[in-house]
Amino acid sequence: MYSFTRRRLIVVLLLTSVLLLTLDRSESGLVGGVKDAFGVVFRPVERFANVVSRPLSNVWRGVLDYSDMRKENLALKDLLVKQEGAAIAATASVREAQELLALNGLPTLAGIDSVTAQVVGQSPSNFTQTFELNRGKSSGIRVGMTVTNGAGLVGKITGVTLERSVVMLATDPEYAMSVKVGACTRANTTTTAVLQTSTTLATDGSSTSDTMVPGDGWTTPVTTVAPSTTTTTSTTSTTTTVLQRATTTTIKGFTPFATTLPPIPGGGGATQITVPESGVLLPRETGAMEGQGIDRLPVIRFIQASSRLGDLCAGVPVVTAGGSQSLAPADLVVGTVSRIVTRSGTSGPLLEVELAANLGSLNFVRVLLYQPATEIPQ
Amino acid sequence: MKRFFAIIESPFTRVFLIGIIVLSFQTTLFNTLRPFSVVMQVMLLCSAASGVAAGSESGAIAGFMFGFMYDMVLTSPFGLSALVFGFAGYIAGGVNTFAYSPRWWFKMLSVGISSAAAVLIYPAASLVVGVDGLLQTRVLGVALTVGLFNAALALPTVFLMRWALVKSKKQMLWAE
């Protein structure tokens, strides 16, 4: 049987917990202040414990992770070689894009200052997915700022003290972000003929010389020549990648956009040219990406499978949507769509996102000193 | 001076000091050792062991203190761990009273069961306070692992918590 004291104790503890939870959920500064004060006392003890326990941690890691580490190291070296060439091409493209955005007076990532910080701790909980960084308020970091690494989006700052900050990972169930996702741009690599027509001058002076990239509406160029003209036609075979919705341009000798990929190691030296035209720049749909917890990929909701957007397929890139209410600046790489779950009714498909950043092995990260409007204290 | 020593000798001062030290190892060593990708919960272990060592009431208070300290380093809703760990301490003390003179294995069982129960309750309590997404099937595996680990370390921890919470006759005479 419960005694009066027991009941009173339970009630007091319950009420205290409820009070603490209420204070926390009402975002009272009191909780933050108490945590900061506790941190001042606790940090030296934690540092000491870290020094004492490090050998044991290293032994644990050495025993369990050594073979995996070796395999991973070899795989990463291989991957690095492949990525180097692509990274150079990508850097050039990003620079070009930023210059274009700057020319049009649009905000770019290049205009946002950032702070590099090291991951010094991980959440000891089995439920929350957070990391601790060795930089805080003194470096200009504030709650709500976006955290990235070399690969892409990592998460956002949810707590800051003077010298430390806490990052909530993008996979945490409480994390949500507006993102943009495009439709597939399936490239058809076809060997096409480029017709080259050279014309000698006619006696009346009328002449036509044209070179066209074949497409859906490709037609033989009209050549008006006088009967006395001698025409020589030669056909050159070339490998051109024409995207599905390519249309014929009528501007002579103009290629709207061209990217030359670096040669693939061991690819036999073949070079392919991708020639998407302005019509190929498909519209992108905006959705909400939400974390799903440990061991589960984030998902994107509220995407409408419309004819305007085209087909959705795995592998298309996902970038942040940006905007005045968004938690991150626009066009920050998030990852790629790994799976599409079709749902009935008007709920639209659900897209699983494979994050570009490897959240399992974070060391140094970049905190963008961009505080979203929604996170600035009123 | 006598008053100062009385405060120093207070069981809850000892709980606080043990809590600080255990928490420092929770955030460092036990954060690295993750069998089956599960973080061992030594703060929860201490909470449950308090209940076994000193009964339901002391277990609930000590568990609340351990949880409160744990909340200081977590980003989860403040007070949630305090509530759940307090419950774990209370339950552990309650389970232990089922046996007239509990044997060692029963103490291990009490700690293991109450720890696993606390791990299962945590996501449910999170849901009540508005944190969605933690209640997944993975929780069952986490509860089992944490329960087994805490049961394995129950005996030395119960001994430690008995030292912290239960005054010996010698100590009581000295305090007088």
Q: What is the ipTM of this complex?
A: 0.80
pLDDT of residue B49: 95
B72 touches chain A (CB under 8 A): yes
Nearest Cα of chain A lies from the Cα of B2 at a distance, in angstroms, of 26
pLDDT tens-place string over residues B93-107: 988 888 777 888 999
Residues 137-176 of B with CB under 8 A from A: 138, 142, 146
Interface-testing mutation among B45, B131, B134, with chain A (most A C-beta atoms within 10 A): B134
Q: Which amino acid is at A90?
A: A
Length of chain A: 378
Instruction: Report helix, strand or coil for A358.
Output: coil
Strand pairing class (A176-182; A165-169): unpaired
The contacts of residue A268 (CB under 8 Å, 6+ apart) are none
Residues 335-374 of A with CB under 8 A from B: none
Cβ distance of A6 and B57 shorter than 8 Å: yes
pLDDT of residue A214: 39
CA distance B23 to A39: 12
Instruction: Encode burial over A57-94: b for 16+ CB neighbours within 10 A, e otherwise.
Output: beebeeeeeeeeeeeeeeeeeeeeeeeeeeeeeeeeee
DSSP symbol at A134: S
Q: Which helix (H) or strand (E) holds A102?
A: helix A29-103
Nearest Cα of chain A lies from the Cα of B31 at a distance, in angstroms, of 5
pLDDT per residue as tens, chain A (378 positions): 445 576 787 888 889 888 888 888 877 778 888 888 888 888 889 889 989 988 888 888 888 888 888 888 888 888 887 787 777 777 777 777 777 776 776 656 666 788 889 888 888 888 888 888 988 888 889 888 999 887 888 999 988 888 889 999 988 888 888 888 876 755 444 444 444 444 434 334 444 444 333 333 343 343 334 444 444 444 444 444 444 443 343 434 434 443 444 444 444 444 444 444 444 555 567 888 988 887 788 998 877 666 555 677 788 888 888 777 777 888 888 888 888 888 777 777 888 898 888 887 788 898 988 877 777 766
CA distance B45 to B53: 12
Nearest beta carbon to residue A45 from set B21, B57, B77? B21
Q: Is A152 in contact with A354 (CB distance < 8 Å)?
A: no
Interface-testing mutation among A34, A43, A120, A126, with chain B (most B C-beta atoms within 10 A): A126
B64 touches chain A (CB under 8 A): yes
pLDDT of residue B159: 93
Number of domains in chain B: 1
Q: What is the sign, positive or negative, of the torsion defined by CA atoms of A325, A329, A330, A331? A: negative
Cβ distance of B74 and A39 shorter than 8 Å: no
pLDDT of residue A374: 72
pLDDT of residue B169: 57
A31 touches chain B (CB under 8 A): yes
CA distance A165 to A152: 19
A173 touches chain B (CB under 8 A): yes
pLDDT of residue A192: 40
Strand pairing class (A299-301; A187-199): unpaired
Of A159, A158, A133, residue with least CA distance to A38: A159
Spell out the domains of chain A, with CATH numbers in brackets.
Answer: 22-106 (no CATH), 116-185+282-378 (2.40.10.340), 187-255 (no CATH)
β-sheet bridge partners, residue A236 = A194
B122 touches chain A (CB under 8 A): yes
For residue B28, what are the domain limits?
2-175
Instruction: Extract the residue ranges of chain B whose pLDDT is less than 50.
Output: 173-176
pLDDT of residue A349: 82
* Cβ contacts of A277-282, under 8 Å, gap ≥ 24: A277/A215, A277/A243, A277/A246, A277/A247, A277/A249, A279/A245, A279/A246, A279/A247, A280/A185, A280/A243, A280/A244, A280/A245, A280/A246, A282/A182, A282/A183, A282/A185, A282/A245, A282/A309, A282/A310
A34 touches chain B (CB under 8 A): yes
